[in-house]
Chains A and B, each alone.
With several copies, the nearest count.
Chain A
Amino acid sequence: MVEEVIFAGFGGQGVLSMGQVLAYSGMIENREVCWMPSYGPEMRGGTANCIVTVSSDEISSPIISRFDTVVALNQPSLDKFESAVKPGGTLIYDSTNIIDPPKRSDIDIVPIPASEEAVKLKNTKIMNMIVLGAFLAKRNTVSIETVLDALKKVLPERHHHLIPLNEQALHRGKELAGEAVPVP
């Protein structure tokens, strides 16, 4: 198997770390993994994205131009990467933040009101985990259990109390993915 995905949004939305969690989870599941970031010169507020490859075979190019999945957390990212989804691939986006929805009809489009849901969960920083839950539901790259395992390993001890919240977010994302209705 191979999953080539890009997570894109503003710096500060957690796009880089959601990619890292996915890569780490892939490693736990004995896959080859590669996480490739790209960001602007600003410390904050710039755009950021990372490409994650999870594969059962050795990974050649870490740079991908066409993706199995695009995860877009803001309008510029959606506009930039919509066309990069492979035909039949998946496009997941934060429908709270994105006003102009994607237009392609040859891909699976999954709007997730992630920011809104994060507010409901009383922690806006958890938005990325909701989206990751949706991604896992759609793509099955790794299991949610592995992701929780991974979080335990990457989060410092002092943040472990947040793991239940993360779990809640992942599951909420999964549910939302099931409910998601593409904009016509």
Chain B
Amino acid sequence: MAKIRGDIKIDVEKCKGCELCIVACPLDAIALSDGINKQGYHYAVLVEDVCNGCKSCALVCPDAVITVYREDRESGKKEPVAELRKVTGDITIQVGVEEEGN
């Protein structure tokens, strides 16, 4: 099975080292750094090259410091976030978006 390739970028200066992303990562790919940032926190870093861009870490990140990357496949090509960002003005009613479970 071809692994979906993903990656994350962490804004380490805003990270407070809460470790929630670490436990959320299903692939155990994140850990705390040894060093500290200017705020005085050990920040999160990606330590295993196994990321598949599942977004779990980003979803639970209270400081919104994680950007998630993924290779362009038909399935994951465009996510609602990017798509809907263009929508403005009048909206249409829908019974919820982003239905995919986790």
Residue interface bits B40-54, CB-to-A below 8 A is 1, else 0: 100000000000000
A45 to B16, CA, bound (A): 10
A-B contact pairs, 4 of them (CB 8 A): A10-B40, A45-B16, A45-B39, A45-B40
Chain A residues whose CB sits within 8 angstroms of the CB of B16 once the complex forms:
45
Residue interface bits B20-59, CB-to-A below 8 A is 1, else 0: 0000000000000000000110000000000000000000
A10 to B39, CA, bound (A): 10
Within 8 A of B (CB), among A107-128: none
Q: How far is the CB of B36 from chain A (nearest CB, A)?
A: 10
Interface Cβ pair total, 8 Å cutoff = 4
Closest to A10 in B: B40
Chain A residues whose CB sits within 8 angstroms of the CB of B40 once the complex forms:
10, 45
- By secondary structure, the B interface counts as loop
Closest to B36 in A: A97
A10 to B40, CA, bound (A): 9
A45 to B14, CA, bound (A): 12
Chain B residues whose CB sits within 8 angstroms of the CB of A45 once the complex forms:
16, 39-40
Closest to B38 in A: A75
Closest to B41 in A: A45
Closest to A12 in B: B40
Closest to B39 in A: A45
A13 to B16, CA, bound (A): 16
Nearest 4 pairs of A and B residues by beta carbon: A10-B40, A45-B39, A45-B16, A45-B40
A181 to B16, CA, bound (A): 34
Q: How far is the CB of A115 from chain B (nearest CB, A)?
A: 10
Closest to A97 in B: B40
Closest to A75 in B: B38
Closest to B40 in A: A10
A116 to B2, CA, bound (A): 48
Within 8 A of B (CB), among A9-46: 10, 45
Q: How far is the CB of A177 from chain B (nearest CB, A)?
A: 24
Chain B residues whose CB sits within 8 angstroms of the CB of A10 once the complex forms:
40
A45 to B63, CA, bound (A): 14
A45 to B41, CA, bound (A): 10
Closest to A44 in B: B16
Q: How far is the CB of B18 from chain A (nearest CB, A)?
A: 11
A5 to B54, CA, bound (A): 53
Q: How far is the CB of B37 from chain A (nearest CB, A)?
A: 12
Q: How far is the CB of B38 from chain A (nearest CB, A)?
A: 9
